[in-house]
Amino acid sequence: SAVISQKPSRDICQRGTSLTIQCQVDSQVTMMFWYRQQPGQSLTLIATANQGSEATYESGFVIDKFPISRPNLTFSTLTVSNMSPEDSSIYLCSVDIFRAREKLFFGSGTQLSVL
């Protein structure tokens, strides 16, 4: 596995503001993924962050709302823009350490509450 550091661990934000979540891995990885877990729900993939190219967004998620950066092979950020209470969720960074068999490992998550 790898050490995946995510911050902030939690935040309480006001409606209309933006929050940037950082994900740092202690080894180089090709693909990083951002998931959302709404209260009582399972994990939903927001986007795949590839180094050197635009992130690939899943249906229902758009770049203007969730811009992603991937400046190198160990770091990525997810911004939640123009937040509303519906964005209250846990946001999780994950990486594929062993590319051959798609095993994902998760960061500790960011608990976001929007008032």
Partner 1 sequence: QKEVEQNSGPLSVPEGAIASLNCTYSDRGSQSFFWYRQYSGKSPELIMSIYSNGDKEDGRFTAQLNKASQYVSLLIRDSQPSDSATYLCAVSGGNTGFQKLVFGTGTRLLVSP
- The contact set with partner 1 (CB under 8 A) reads 31, 33, 41-45, 48, 92, 96, 99, 101-109
Residue 86 or 102 with smaller CB distance to partner 1: 102
Cβ-contact 93, 21 below 8 angstroms: yes
Tokens matching residue 77: 């950020």
- Using DSSP, state whether 87 is helix, strand or coil: helix
The greatest distance separating any two alpha carbons of the chain, rounded to the nearest whole angstrom, comes to 42
Q: How far is the CB of 36 from partner 1 (least distance, A)?
A: 11
Residue 93 CB, shortest distance to partner 1, in Å, is: 9
The tokens for 86 are: 């519906």
Of the pair 14, 101, the CB lying nearest partner 1 is at 101
